[in-house]
Amino acid sequence: MTPAPAVAVRIGARALTRRYGALVANDAIDLSVAPGTIHSIVGGNGAGKSTLMRILQGVDFPDAGTVVLNDEPVRLSGPADAFARGVGMVHQEFMLAPPLSLLENLILAREPVGAAGLIDWRKAEEEAGNLAALAGAAIDWRLKAADAPIHVRQILEILRLLYRGADVLILDEPTAVLAPAQIVELLKLMGKLRDEGRTILFISHKLDEVMKCSDAITVMRAGRVVARTTASDTNVDALARAMVGDHAPALLIESRERPSGTPLFSARALAARDPLGFERLGPVDLDIRAGEIVGVAAVGGNGQDELVACAAGILAPAAGSIRLGGEDLAGASTARFRAAGVGYVSADRAHEGLCLTASLADNFIAGRERDTAFSRLGFLRPANIRAAAARGLAGLSVRYGSVDDPASSLSGGNQQRLAIARELSRAPRLLVVSQPTRGVDIAGTAFIHNLIADFRDRGGAVLLVSESLDELLALSDRILCLFNGRISGELSRSEAGVETVGRLMLGRRAAA
Amino acid sequence: MMRALRPRVADGLGAAAPFVFALAIGAVVLFAAGFEPLSVYRLMIEEGFGGERRIAATLTASTPLLLTGLAAAIAFRSGVFNVGAEGCFYLGGLTAAVIGFSAPSWPSALVLGAGLGAAALIGGLWLLGPGLLRARLGVDEVVTTLMLNFIAVGITSWLVNGPLLARGSANSATPAIALNATLPRLLPPTTLHLGFAISLALVIAYGVWGRFTVGGFRSRLVGTNPRFARAVGIEPERVLVATMVVSGAVGGLAGAIHALGLVHRFVGGFSPGYGFTGIAIALLARNSALGVIVASILFGALSSAGASIQLFSNVPIEIVQILQGAVMVFATAKLGRLWRRAG
């Protein structure tokens, strides 16, 4: 299993470039990962980490340059080819079959076969036992994957790679969904696997974890490698600087005094479940006044998605009340939420924020097609629709061919501008915004931040959820931290710092 | 310019490809059976389109397909995979036939209106259940509508063998409809009837609706991206239920037109699978009105030519079923993707 010690680079890349249209996702990347090491790749959103990992795993292909395995340039034909060469990946999303047991999930696609072509369960259990011992974890193999705790599922994903004989493990943000104690366990397991001679590529943007476990660290920014270092030669601050670059400090939107008066939006004892039926949110109380941006900080899966969906009227709460301007919206349809003055910018641009196959014009007026400006007696007024879309887009400095082109013809950042402009054109009272600048470049981010701040200054109320603390700190007048579905702290802009918010997000108390 | 054009070319090729592949497969079968494929195809084209009478026969055969294709296209466009048009066709046909033979003294317009209207109503109500089940409880409409087909065929078959059996008839058939209830012929002595014009007009109206109306806009958004539609305040469930009902109404209407225009009664085995052929037509047409018209006429030609080549040569009529089946298989394979990926 362990590669010959003569090999200097177990896995890596040489002058590897990958373009998506005009965007250079990976720009002449050189990467050398020595066998038997934990090599961390850090970088902000859009740095090109995921693209690089997809290429190393054979899911995507470079436009120029090559993947290197065991010092040799190779052309991977696909993920199966990568696997045959010992490279396996654990994705951010779980790739398990929920109704199958953990044991069944483990052996899936490489079942030990005994007499008469039947599955040799004894052998399967034996191998599973060995792996569990290796991981130092007590695993109840008969548990269904759907019922297993998240950290067990995460460990199973890794054991499955080992079971199938991978000695290079690519772990894409494996700690994002774990609690602190579980993170420690996972890092320990990674260390053990490394000591046995396996090679681990660890993707994370949690720098303290990276410092704890890495032998080597590669920092990426905007598609390039900007630093190569080791944990002993650097520190969290230096890494953070390398990740962010020398750009001017984030444009800080001026904070405002908390407006007085009755709240525009008000939720009481709000609770909600995720699509699988797990309690994710609540109970929480939340007030937002007109002219105020309330930011929500949380590690993924702590209820912020459900909070957004409830506030936007997409998801019916399991309990609690929602009022907007005094109007009771409990159990109301999305259409009624919108009629009451709620605008919604979805984190999922491709499936909820826009209809990518529909034209720019259709996207711009969608939801308002009944307005007399856009239809008469049930018949659309295409000229008016096109003109309105053209006017709307003109203010966004978006380059486009024609308003009849599909929304998919826009770049990701411009798609987001379109989605936000559509919502603002409806003159809402409350704007619910989730991840407004995910995958958006710096100029686009500043533009979108200004749109949101302008809306606030004109008296709008904003509920902002973002995985980027910088964004929350730049925009929010108040920041709420969610942990395990409950509000673990509330800070005004002036009190909030990355560290304090980070602690509250993890359910710890703010430093005294 | 090129970029804007390319997808359309791909769509065109994608729509034509199933026929090309099906003809190729048919050719292999014909060759293996000892016939000369090209001459059989030439004969089929002649029998389908050679001269006024043959064209009229083709259009007559395409009439039920226009509407069952339309019923399917309406549903598919909104993202509902309704396969229940066949059942609606039976129910609508029986309903219209009953009204057609029960009111011989009414003015023709009234009895025609009542027959067509009642059939549409029955068809719409028939699929209200599956629509509500899908919208409220997420029950898969493919299963419910498919199963309801068997129930519809069963009910009509029982009625036509029992209470509605024509006196003195041994076969399962209702009495013939009265003269005032027959849809007028357009090109006597051919069988082409007013139902063709009605069907064509409905398909054209569907095209206008889809492109130029608020309802068409909403159905398109719900069909392509229901989460987006919900997020902008359109209620996918409502669109879905309405779609199901309208689709069922068109299916019922198709049966009524078939009964009042061509068969002039309801008989057991009323439809040779028109509802299912309609699914293939909608898939081939990618739900476009023009596509439904073209595909219906091609399928109509296939069946009308198939009947006559059996008379004039010893080629078995089953070749038509092979061709239809092959077209359906390739239609569902979304061949347009091949070109799009290459381009």
Residue A497 CA to residue B6 CA, distance in Å, equals 52
**Higher pLDDT pick, B265 / A245:** B265
A335 touches chain B (CB under 8 A): yes
Residue A22 CA to residue A12 CA, distance in Å, equals 25
Lowest mean pLDDT among A142-151, B73-82, B286-295: A142-151
Residue A462 CA to residue A452 CA, distance in Å, equals 8
Residue B109 has pLDDT above 80, yes or no: yes
Residue A210 CA to residue A227 CA, distance in Å, equals 14
Residue A94 CA to residue A450 CA, distance in Å, equals 36
Distance between B222 CA and the closest CA of chain A, angstroms: 10
Question: Which range scores top for mean pLDDT: A182-191, B152-161, B311-320?
Answer: B152-161
Strand, coil or helix: what is A201?
strand
pLDDT, residue A498, reads: 73
Residue B336 has pLDDT above 60, yes or no: no
Mean per-residue pLDDT, B310-337:
76
Distance between A366 CA and the closest CA of chain B, angstroms: 6
CATH architecture of B51-314: Orthogonal Bundle (1.10)
Residue B220 CA to residue B215 CA, distance in Å, equals 9
Q: C-alpha A227: how far from its chain's center?
A: 24
A346 touches chain B (CB under 8 A): yes
pLDDT, tens digit (0-9, with 9 covering 90-100), for B230-255: 999 999 999 999 999 999 999 999 99
Chain B residues with CB within 8 Å of chain A CB: 212-215, 217-218, 220-221, 224-225, 227-235
Tell me, what DSSP letter sits at residue A366?
T
pLDDT, residue A45, reads: 60
Cβ contacts (< 8 Å) between A421 and chain B: which residues? none
Residue B97 CA to residue B111 CA, distance in Å, equals 11
| pLDDT confidence band for A86 (50 / 70 / 90) | very high
Best of A336, A345, A355 to substitute, by most chain B Cβ atoms within 10 angstroms, is A355
**In chain B, where does the domain assigned CATH 1.10.3470 lie?**
51-314
Distance between A334 CA and the closest CA of chain B, angstroms: 5
Burial classification of residue B109, based on how many CB atoms lie within 10 Å of its CB (0-12 exposed, 13-18 middle, 19 or more buried): exposed
Select from B214, B220, B227 the Cβ nearest to the Cβ of A370.
Answer: B214
Residue A507 CA to residue A183 CA, distance in Å, equals 15
| pLDDT confidence band for B12 (50 / 70 / 90) | low
Lowest mean pLDDT among A125-129, B24-28, B143-147, B327-331: B327-331
pLDDT, tens digit (0-9, with 9 covering 90-100), for A204-223: 867 778 888 999 999 988 78
pLDDT, residue B5, reads: 44
Residue B285 CA to residue A267 CA, distance in Å, equals 49
Mean per-residue pLDDT, A416-425:
92
Distance between B337 CA and the closest CA of chain A, angstroms: 15
Look up the ipTM and state it.
Answer: 0.83
**Chain A, window 384-443: residues with a beta carbon less than 8 angstroms from a chain B beta carbon:** 422
Share of chain B above pLDDT 90, in %: 66
Strand, coil or helix: what is A68?
strand
Best of B232, B238, B286, B340 to substitute, by most chain A Cβ atoms within 10 angstroms, is B232
Domains in chain A with CATH codes = 11-244 (3.40.50.300), 250-341+428-512 (3.40.50.300), 358-425 (no CATH)
pLDDT, residue A22, reads: 66
Q: What mean pLDDT is reported for chain A?
A: 86
Q: Among all chains, which residue has been given the structure tokens 């476009």?
A: B288
Residue A247 has pLDDT above 50, yes or no: no
A331 touches chain B (CB under 8 A): no
| Residue A230 contacts residue A34 (beta carbons within 8 Å) | no
pLDDT, residue B318, reads: 84
Q: What mean pLDDT is reported for chain B?
A: 89
Q: Do A369 and B227 touch (CB under 8 A)?
A: no
Select from A351, A358, A422 the Cβ nearest to the Cβ of B221.
Answer: A358
pLDDT, tens digit (0-9, with 9 covering 90-100), for A95-142: 888 888 999 999 988 888 888 888 889 999 999 998 888 877 778 888
Residue B4 has pLDDT above 60, yes or no: no
User: What contacts A232, CB < 8 A, 6 or more positions away?
Assistant: none
Q: Do A379 and B213 touch (CB under 8 A)?
A: yes
Q: What torsion, rounded to 10 degrees, do the Cα atoms B76, B81, B87, B92 define?
A: -30
pLDDT, residue A180, reads: 67
**Higher pLDDT pick, A19 / A255:** A19
Crossing angle between the packed helical segments B236-258 and B194-212, to the nearest 10 degrees = 170
A338 touches chain B (CB under 8 A): yes
User: What contacts A486, CB < 8 A, 6 or more positions away?
Assistant: A282, A283, A284, A303
Distance between A225 CA and the closest CA of chain B, angstroms: 32
Cβ contacts (< 8 Å) between A312 and chain B: which residues? 231
Share of chain A above pLDDT 70, in %: 92
Distance between A234 CA and the closest CA of chain B, angstroms: 45
φ and ψ of B128, to 5 deg:
-60, -40
| Residue B270 contacts residue B93 (beta carbons within 8 Å) | yes
